[in-house]
Amino acid sequence: MTVLDKFLHGDQSALARLISFIENREDGYKRLLARLYPLSGNALRFGFTGPPGAGKSSLVNAVARRLVADGKRVGIIAVDPSSPFTGGALLGDRIRMNELPTDGSVYMRSMATRGSSGGLAAATNNVAVALDAFGFDYVLIETVGVGQVELDIIDTCDTVVVVLVPESGDAVQALKAGLMEIADIFAVNKADRPGARNIIAALQNMLEIKAEHSPWKWPVVPTEAIHDKNIDTLLEQILAHVAYSRESGLFERHRREQIRKKIFAILATQLKAAMEEKLNVKADLDHIVTRIYQGETDPYTVGDELLKLTQSE
Amino acid sequence: MTVLDKFLHGDQSALARLISFIENREDGYKRLLARLYPLSGNALRFGFTGPPGAGKSSLVNAVARRLVADGKRVGIIAVDPSSPFTGGALLGDRIRMNELPTDGSVYMRSMATRGSSGGLAAATNNVAVALDAFGFDYVLIETVGVGQVELDIIDTCDTVVVVLVPESGDAVQALKAGLMEIADIFAVNKADRPGARNIIAALQNMLEIKAEHSPWKWPVVPTEAIHDKNIDTLLEQILAHVAYSRESGLFERHRREQIRKKIFAILATQLKAAMEEKLNVKADLDHIVTRIYQGETDPYTVGDELLKLTQSE
């Protein structure tokens, strides 16, 4: 049996190998994805984002356990580009794995691709396709909500939970900064801490205005992930969002838009590679770079000239 | 006088307006950059990166003051994609501005473009070009060292200082995670705190191995930015790196590589736009998306087909 056959038969070690294959963009990974893609599309994808220390991992674990208790199978992708500084990723993985069922109902994958060749958002999306194709009912994606790449990642989810904590004192800032646009649900985790009421009230105040002309009323759910408190309510709200999203047509529109973006991203990558190859053959790039380096011209003027060259046969 | 004339005459409010113009990618910003580019290339660009709370801002300010004391003019770009959660950017700006000379010898610009249309690395590079063309002798770029985008930003600098603190306990992780490749100098800030000796020793140990076959011996400089301690030494090491870099040819190679990347990035953006336009006109994208959505085909197979279409006239 090939690794792909084993994957199709539900072998998790084959899954792990194929994910590595995809993540490392090994030769043939696109063909593999082309095989897996039509098998995907069944899993619901939920994103969890928020500041470091908000307890996202615990919350995602708690949600996963809750789903498993309902007989569902769950894949988790944990994206932590900040791990090099905290050194937490590896140790954290071990701790969080202990919290998860070991009967194969949950599979957890860390993406620690910092310093790699980039394309983290694309890689995360590809891994989600693999988990989806493998047959998980839900794919939970967890990432620190800072930076454009993280926004791109979270944008590939059907429903997005923004996780805040009482200490953040950041509700207003978070909303101002564009998180509002990606959040479908707010979880105020560690809700037993002082200040929880304040941040919930502040959030509700702001959301009231936003929700005035919207059929979706953004819920704010207090949670205590490590005590498994209110996870039911959070999950209910997530599923309510999925139901609203499906009924309103938002779900399909959103997924179609994701497909469209994916096509454009694939094409852009290929065009870029083709362009670089063509320029390396056709243009005297060294000479052009020298002229720019010496201040005789600039990359924008040169860009216009080269564009014509790349478009000629 | 046009804004550009005022800029060329050293008017800082004109500088501020042109930077906004560039940052917002307003109509004609490329023509403007094409004008500014040949005026740039004289400033040295130093990058400062490290975990949140390492005191990067204080360190950058201290280095700027030191340079000003030598009669130099300094532009600072502070990139803080994490500001939405900390809410610190605006308040922080005000505090740090108080620490800087107000005689025009220092100009500070925050890039808080999170949630914007992306392209943060390109935008930062463009702002650096503007500061350079304006006549600053040094451009200091400060960013949290997490995420691919931040790595791209820091890669546009001539010399990169990685700022750590005793608490980080992260030396080993930082080095493992690819920071080693971008660091030219390490500053251990808040060096009066416990653990400073340990982290310095750990860094030196690891660097010894790395430096064995390298002409550049990575220095580790203990600093106390808020007490202005050892800033002279740090600056000496930075300038020593510039000297080494110039002598070894690394400086020019690096800048030429940056120009090359810039050309490719400009071309890729233009090609992408042209491709999207062409596809929207020529291909029945809605139908294609529907087929993918229904699992009949996949974005990769479609990508190959569309690629031919975009390359035909």
> Over the stretch B222-255, which tens digit does the pLDDT of each residue have?
999 999 999 999 999 999 999 999 999 999 999 9
Instruction: Please list the ranges in chain A whose pLDDT falls under 50.
Output: 82-91, 115-117
Residue B273 forms contact with A (CB below 8 Å): no
**Cross-chain Cβ contact B146/A150 below 8 Å:** no
Tokens 């804004």 sit at which residue? B3
Asked if A89 contacts A59 with a C-beta cutoff of 8 angstroms, the reply is no
Centroid of chain to Cα A109: 12
The identity of residue B34, as a single letter, is: A
Name the closest residue on chain B to residue A40, using Cα atoms.
B295
**Cross-chain Cβ contact A37/B270 below 8 Å:** no
Name the closest residue on chain A to residue B180, using Cα atoms.
A115
**Cross-chain Cβ contact A266/B310 below 8 Å:** no
> Over the stretch B174-217, which tens digit does the pLDDT of each residue have?
555 556 778 999 999 999 998 899 889 988 988 888 888 899 99
- The alpha carbon of residue B80 is apart from the nearest alpha carbon of chain A, in Å, by 9
* Beta strands A138-144 and A74-79, pairing class: parallel
Nearest CB neighbour to A81, from listed B114, B147, B307: B147
* Beta strands B138-144 and B44-50, pairing class: parallel
- The alpha carbon of residue A240 is apart from the nearest alpha carbon of chain B, in Å, by 23
Q: Which of the pair, B312 or B237, is modelled with greater confidence?
A: B237
In a 10 Å sphere around its CB, with 0-12 CB exposed, 13-18 middle and 19+ buried, how is residue B170 labelled? Answer: buried
Name the closest residue on chain B to residue A37, using Cα atoms.
B298
Set of chain A residues whose Cβ sits within 8 Å of the Cβ of B293: 41, 252, 255-256, 259
Tokens of B225: 């930015």
| pLDDT of amino acid B113 | 52
Share above pLDDT 90 across residues of chain B, in percent, rounded to a whole number: 51
> Over the stretch B258-304, which tens digit does the pLDDT of each residue have?
999 889 888 888 888 888 888 888 778 899 999 999 989 999 999 88
Nearest CB neighbour to A170, from listed B86, B172, B255: B86
Name the closest residue on chain B to residue A38, using Cα atoms.
B295
Nearest 5°: CA angle at B280, between B275 and B286? 125
Residue A30 forms contact with B (CB below 8 Å): yes
Q: Which of A160, A253, A259, A288 to probe the B interface (max B CBs under 10 A)?
A: A259
Per-residue pLDDT band at B83 (split at 50, 70, 90): very low
- Strand extents, DSSP E, chain B: 44-50, 74-79, 106-111, 138-144, 159-164, 185-188, 220-222
Tokens of A10: 């539900």
| pLDDT of amino acid B80 | 67
The identity of residue A245, as a single letter, is: S
Residue B303 forms contact with A (CB below 8 Å): yes
pTM: 0.77
Residues A76 and A186: their CA atoms lie apart, in Å, by 20
> Over the stretch A203-230, which tens digit does the pLDDT of each residue have?
898 888 888 889 999 999 999 999 999 9
| pLDDT of amino acid A153 | 77
Mean pLDDT value of segment B54-68 = 94
- The alpha carbon of residue A150 is apart from the nearest alpha carbon of chain B, in Å, by 9
| pLDDT of amino acid A254 | 93
User: Is pLDDT above 80 for B141?
Assistant: yes
| pLDDT of amino acid B191 | 94
Nearest CB neighbour to A298, from listed B37, B173, B297: B37
**Which residues make Cβ contacts (< 8 Å) with residue A238, sequence separation at least 6?**
A46, A63, A159, A161, A185
Q: Mean pLDDT over all residues of chain B?
A: 85
Residues A137 and A75: their CA atoms lie apart, in Å, by 8
Nearest CA among B161, B125, B143 for reference residue B242: B161
The identity of residue B79, as a single letter, is: V
Asked if A77 contacts A141 with a C-beta cutoff of 8 angstroms, the reply is yes
How is A24-81 classified by DSSP, letter by letter? TT-TTHHHHHHHHGGG-S-SEEEEEEE-TTS-HHHHHHHHHHHHHHTT--EEEEEE-T
> Over the stretch A118-158, which tens digit does the pLDDT of each residue have?
577 788 899 999 999 999 999 999 987 666 666 777 778 99
DSSP state of B167: G
Set of chain A residues whose Cβ sits within 8 Å of the Cβ of B170: 84-87
Set of chain B residues whose Cβ sits within 8 Å of the Cβ of A179: 84, 115
**Cross-chain Cβ contact A38/B272 below 8 Å:** no
Tallying the residues shown for chain B, one arrives at: 313
Set of chain B residues whose Cβ sits within 8 Å of the Cβ of A38: 295-298
| pLDDT of amino acid A31 | 92
Neighbours of A142 (CB within 10 A): 27
Phi, psi values for residue A74, rounded to 5°: -130, 130
**Chain A residues 159-218 with CB within 8 Å of chain B:** 168-170, 172-174, 176-179, 181
Rounded (to 5) percent helix, strand, coil in chain A = 60, 15, 25
Nearest CB neighbour to B146, from listed A85, A176, A260: A85
3-class DSSP state of A138: strand
Name the closest residue on chain B to residue A167, using Cα atoms.
B86
**Cross-chain Cβ contact A30/B300 below 8 Å:** yes
Residue B300 forms contact with A (CB below 8 Å): yes
Residues B43 and B74: their CA atoms lie apart, in Å, by 9
Mean pLDDT value of segment B46-58 = 86
Residue B29 forms contact with A (CB below 8 Å): no
Question: How large is the ipTM?
Answer: 0.81
Q: Which of A267, A290, A311 to probe the B interface (max B CBs under 10 A)?
A: A267
Counting Cα atoms < 13 Å in the Cβ hemisphere of B105 gives 17
Tokens of B173: 């992780």
Asked if A43 contacts A75 with a C-beta cutoff of 8 angstroms, the reply is yes
Contacts 24+ apart (CB under 8 A), A309-312: A309/A278, A309/A279, A309/A282, A309/A283, A310/A275, A310/A278, A310/A279, A310/B267, A310/B271, A311/B274
β-bridge mates for residue A79, sequence order: A111, A143
Neighbours of A97 (CB within 10 A): 12
Set of chain A residues whose Cβ sits within 8 Å of the Cβ of B264: 272, 275-276, 279
Residues B164 and B186: their CA atoms lie apart, in Å, by 7
**Which residues make Cβ contacts (< 8 Å) with residue B236, sequence separation at least 6?**
none
Tokens 């860094």 sit at which residue? B203
Nearest CB neighbour to B34, from listed A150, A256, A298: A298
Per-residue pLDDT band at B148 (split at 50, 70, 90): low
Domain annotation for chain B: domains and CATH numbers: 40-248 (3.40.50.300), 263-311 (no CATH)
Neighbours of A99 (CB within 10 A): 16
Counting Cα atoms < 13 Å in the Cβ hemisphere of A100 gives 26
Mean pLDDT value of segment B146-173 = 76
Q: Which of A148, A155, A280 to probe the B interface (max B CBs under 10 A)?
A: A148
